[in-house]
Chains A and B, each alone.
Chain A
């Protein structure tokens, strides 16, 4: 009689596909470069907001940019990545047409956003040192998203760095604006360097022709 330990290792085929697609998505370093640039833009705008005189035209432009440009950049990143890959990297990464995002995923995203908003507006203001909690929470939550988004060692390191930076900034007592500027700026540089190294190594691989 065969016991289950002698059977070949089985894996849910859907999980197998997700794992392979995630690996393909991250192999050229482009998502990290995009994330790094995004974080640096956010950090730059926050720095500008802190530096510019309140009520000045520059200050208002920066506030508008934070409110409109940042969400727009975030939402357009997947399409931009797709365009860059198809225009410049298609010979190396190949061509794929993904299925449209399902209602389940959209619903899950909305649920997470509602939960985060609930914590931000409902719980954090009641805590002592809410600025510190916001910085630490952003670092830890953001770091978790980075680590889970990639599931490769370099993403785990990046995520841990972001979490640690958030907690250090919270402990240091720095103001919220400056804290966010430093957190996003640091993580932006880390993602840019990490993604850049991966991209260069990917581009250096010899291109095999033929099928």
Chain B
């Protein structure tokens, strides 16, 4: 097995989970997004998305802020510096393996 494929074993397991990868990839591509946008874009159920966001927040990869836009409640998510760094490394490994 080539060294590049072997490096796949080193990827961050928190990000590598498909649902969390979608969330992190989206947040890396934007400044910030709310729960509803992530729910619509990823197609995950609200409960499932909630669980994955909690895991990412516990790991320190995303920051969640609850606020309001007028009367509409917003749960805004954005990648932390740690999250961006870990995602950048992950992306490097995946691109090398592709």
List residues of A whose CB falls within 8 A of some B CB. Answer: 1-2, 4, 7, 10-14, 16-18, 20-21, 23-24, 27, 86, 90-99, 208, 210-211
List residues of B whose CB falls within 8 A of some A CB. Answer: 1, 5, 8, 21-22, 24-26, 28-42, 46, 50, 69, 72, 74-76, 87, 90-91, 94-95, 97-98
- Asked if B31 contacts A2 (CB within 8 A), the reply is no
- Asked if B41 contacts A95 (CB within 8 A), the reply is no
Complex Cα distance, B91 from A210, in Å, reads 33
Residues of B contacting A86 with CB < 8 Å? 69
Name A17's contact: one of B5, B25, B32 (CB within 8 Å): B25
Complex Cα distance, B12 from A85, in Å, reads 35
Residues of B contacting A210 with CB < 8 Å? 46
Given contacts A4-B5, A24-B40, whether A12 and B95 have CB atoms under 8 Å apart is yes
Q: A18-B29, A95-B69, A97-B30 are in contact. List 11 more A-B contacts (CB 8 A).
A: A10-B94, A12-B95, A12-B98, A14-B28, A21-B26, A24-B41, A91-B36, A95-B34, A96-B32, A97-B33, A211-B50
Q: List 5 A-B contacts (CB under 8 A).
A: A21-B30, A90-B36, A92-B36, A94-B38, A208-B46
